[in-house]
Amino acid sequence: MDRRFRVAGLASALLVAALADRMADAAEPIRVETPMPPPEWGLLERALLRANEDAVEQFFDRYFDDRGFALCVERWGGDDGPDDASESFGDWPLLHALGASDRVLALEKLAWEGHLRQFSLARTTEVPLGRDGMYYREFPTQFDWLHHTEGLRPFFLQGLSDPNDPDLIRRSLRFAGFYTGEDPTAPNYDPEHKVIRSLLNGSRGPLLRPATALDWAGDPIEVEGRFALRHGERSYEEMLAHFKDYTNIIGDHPQNLASTSLGLNAFALSGEQRYRDWVLEYVDAWVDRMAANGGIIPSNVGLDGTIGGGDGGRWYGGVYGWAFSVEVPQTGAIAHRNTHALGLVGFGNALLLSGDRRYVDAWRGMIEAMEAQRRVIDGVAMYPTMHGDDGWYAFVPNPYRSGALEVYYWSMDPADRDRVPGSGWLDYLDGLSPDYPCSALRADLDAVRRAVQEIADDPTTPDTRLSDDVLARDPVAIGSLTELMLGGLPTGNNRPILHARLRYFDPERRRAGLPPDVAALVDAMTADSVSVTLVNLDPTRDHTVSIQGGAFGEHRLRSIRIGEETTPVDGRTATVRLSPGCGARLEIAMDRYAGPPTLRFPWDLP
């Protein structure tokens, strides 16, 4: 494939793709009429969807009011800020997009709208960053992308279920504009030097002074006897001490690459080229910096675009940098808080937008560069995790593996598979762990059960509860469903954008997700194929499923083989009609990353 989808010819490529998709959708559905006894994994999938639906109801009833406001003490800060309140329903849109009830999406949207209103009204008294509202223009005023990503999790996934929501579209374009350089009221991005100008940034632009512990910890608060802080601090003084070294935030940091999720969403919802262009421009700048830094991503880039320019030439400097080792106030221990790996999000977004495998190559190259720092210490091979003025330190016996799973998932190269730490899911796909589907689904069912019990046993009241406490009770457990139904990587704080081999739509109900009583199990994936079993557990009614290649339609389906019969497809979707109590294994040939991503449903394509 070329380096990227060139701007020239993109319109015609989109037209050809759209015409092919419309022809594929217009084709007769593939009929499946072979009876299949209800498999245990299928019954467990549907049971897990129902359990999550019920748990969402109980969680919302306990921790939110009828406006969607979180019932907790509203605070600004890195310990228990607004991001934790919305993170608590972060996976609910994906739960709906898998096939859960419309009630799940309705509660998620109520909570999201309430969240934006609640923290736009909430104000700090002493922290300058939130005195006029913790949110401005429905977005955090100034904070880092570790916390922005956590708080935006439901927003990043909502388009999977409701891409035509006008509020979602408006916000997506507005939020992306804070980072593309087009909004003069939020000058976060410098297009000349291709940097986001501070680690702390947002709707009021970058913070261009040293940060203080107060900026990070939030206003003074009573702790002892009232709150149990989940980072272990026992007093407000210890909260300030936690952040006493979080000062050097001027300049760019790999965390800021997570902001490209705004550009990806804006492009996938609107198709406007400028959002794609910005994501690729910004990620390309980081690829170049890695190449100039021996393959390793620097943790500080100055306002002038020079590596280490914001910290005296130290490429490893800055808050959350390669050298960011700080004291834990309550114990005196040293904690290594190096968050460069959050930058991986941007490389995945660039791959989705371009199809260019060099973004995968760049992160693989960093893994290899880190492996090259291996040392034998007391006869044991050791690998560093930090770098300071005296070189590499904080050695551990395990090789560097940040992003190894993603690199393999994107490349499907067997050499990359060898680097991925133990994974029951990958072992299953390799044919080595046949019991994994049922054991993983049962484990998530048990996680839901335990979370619901914790909700029932929770002794806190709204005035003794922090947003962190709400987050800790989130009962939704869908990691196994993401892997097994979609052939996808479970979403989370380090993976806010869904990467999946397949997605499903219900053309009869005109919504995302599998129809009722239908289950799906992906059991094999290669670089150009995926195999999935679809089964209709309903013994009395047909069900129709539209299958899409990729979370964003980025993979093009070429053909579907069932038994000895192969049906050509050549489109982003294909439709299968399942007779009552019937199922089949579909072997799907595909071209991965063959087209631009979109969140439009199959029937809404031009």
Q: Which pLDDT tens digit goes with each residue over 266-283?
A: 999 999 999 999 999 999
Average pLDDT over residues 105-110: 98
How much of the chain is helix, strand and coil, in % rounded to 5? 40, 20, 40
Among 14-28, 171-185, 248-262, where is mean pLDDT lowest? 14-28
Our measurement of the distance from residue 489's CA atom to the centroid of its chain's CA atoms, rounded to an integer in Å, reads 9
From CA 385, how far away is CA 364, in angstroms rounded? 16
Nearest CA-CA partner of 535 in 579, 580, 577, 582: 582
C-alpha of 422 from chain center: 21
Confidence of residue 93 (pLDDT cuts 50, 70, 90): very high
Q: Angle at the Cα of 393 (from 293 to 399), degrees rounded to 5?
A: 75
Neighbours of 322 (CB within 10 A): 28
Please state, in angstroms and as integers, the Cα–Cα distance from residue 589 to each residue in 146, 525, 578, following that order. 37, 10, 20
Domain ranges of the chain: 1-32+501-606, 163-211+246-421
| Residue 4: pLDDT over 70 | no
What is the C-alpha to C-alpha distance for residues 140 and 125, in angstroms, rounded to an integer?
A: 16
User: In terms of Cα–Cα distance, which of 75, 101, 198 is closest to 144?
Assistant: 198
Specify the higher pLDDT residue, 334 or 5: 334
pLDDT of residue 5: 40
Q: Is the pLDDT of residue 587 over 60?
A: yes
- Plot region of 549 (φ>0 → left; ψ -120 to 50 → alpha; else → beta): beta
pLDDT at 27: 73
Quote the pLDDT of residue 16.
42
Instruction: Find the mean pLDDT for residues 90-96.
Output: 98
pLDDT of residue 337: 97
Structure tokens at 264: 């990806």
> Three-state DSSP class for 535?
strand
pLDDT of amino acid 491: 98
Q: How far apart are CA 386 and CA 316, in angstroms?
A: 9
Residue 498 contacts residue 154 (beta carbons within 8 Å):
no
- Confidence at 101, pLDDT banded by 50, 70, 90: very high
Chain mean pLDDT for the chain: 95
Residue given tokens 């499946």 in the structure block: 32
Calculate the CA 564 to chain-centre distance: 38
Burial (CB count within 10 angstroms: exposed 0-12, middle 13-18, buried 19+), residue 606: exposed
CA dist 70 and 88 (Å) reads 10
pLDDT score recorded for residue 44: 98
Contacts of 60 (CB under 8 A, 6+ apart): 107, 111
Mean pLDDT of 545-555: 98
Q: pLDDT tens for residues 388-407?
A: 999 999 999 999 999 999 99
| φ/ψ of residue 138, rounded to 5 | 70, 25
- Higher-confidence residue of 527 and 79: namely 527
425-475: pLDDT as tens digits: 999 999 999 999 999 999 999 999 999 999 999 999 999 999 999 999 999
What are the tens digits of pLDDT across the range 342-369? 999 999 999 999 999 999 999 999 999 9
Determine the pLDDT at residue 79: 86
Predicted model pTM: 0.95
What's the CA gap between 500 and 483, in Å, rounded? 8
Going by their DSSP bridges, the two strands 195-196 and 189-190 should be labelled as antiparallel
Average pLDDT of the residues in 241-259:
97
Q: Which two tokens stand for residue 185?
A: 């009221």
Classified by CATH at the fold level, domain 1-32+501-606 comes out as: Immunoglobulin-like (2.60.40)
pLDDT at 228: 86
According to DSSP, residue 92 is labeled H
pLDDT of 230 reads 82
* pLDDT category of residue 25 using cuts at 50, 70 and 90: very low
Q: Look at residue 273 in the predicted model and tell me its pLDDT.
A: 98
The tens digit of pLDDT for each residue in 60-79 reads 999 999 999 999 999 999 98
CA–CA distances in Å: residue 514 to residues 483, 491, 510, 525, 589: 15, 19, 11, 20, 21
Residue 10: is its pLDDT beyond 80?
no
Average pLDDT over residues 487-506: 97
Confidence band of 7 (pLDDT split at 50, 70, 90): very low
Tell me how far apart the alpha carbons of residues 585 and 359 are, in angstroms, rounded to a whole number.
33
Mean pLDDT of 524-553: 98
Query: Contact, 407 vs 351, CB < 8 A?
Result: no
Can you count the helices (H) and strands (E) in the chain?
Answer: 20, 21
How many percent of the chain have pLDDT more than 90? 93
Task: Report strand pairing: 565-571 vs 556-562.
Answer: antiparallel
Whether 24 shows a pLDDT value over 60: the answer reads no
